[in-house]
Amino acid sequence: MFKLIAITLALFYSISANAGCGRDVFECRVYQGDEITLVPCEIKICARANDSTIYWALQDGTEIYDHAEQGFNEVTINKEAAQQLPSDILKDPVTCYSALGKAMIICADNVSL
């Protein structure tokens, strides 16, 4: 019985050791048409061995959710389909998301927690 408890605890702590989250406040840029709006935002990134979740909460109420897990990726802005813009088309170290079918792009600089 002791061995079973020890193995269970060891597995629990080894799985937990592979998970981590980081959170920071940024100034996000919202591009809509010809307008650029600066909006304070909080970005939280959680990652484990097999998946990651990125969550942006802008002060204006906009929310971005990006979850990737072994070949599956879901990205939404305010619960509507979105996409992360490929980093190779962006000149600066910037992360951007675009709402599908809408002329809106949201960006933040140096997002690495």
How far apart are alpha carbons 6 and 18 in whole angstroms?
Answer: 19
Tens of pLDDT along 8-46? 334 344 444 457 999 999 999 999 989 999 999 999 999
Say which residues have a Cβ less than 8 Å from residue 45's Cβ, sequence separation at least 6: 21, 22, 23, 52, 53, 54, 55, 111, 113
Please write the tens of the pLDDT for every residue from 85-106.
Answer: 987 777 778 999 998 888 899 9
Query: Is 73 in a helix, a strand, or coil?
Result: strand
Residues 47-75, mean pLDDT to the nearest whole number: 94
pTM tops 0.85, yes or no: no
- CA dist 56 and 99 (Å) reads 14
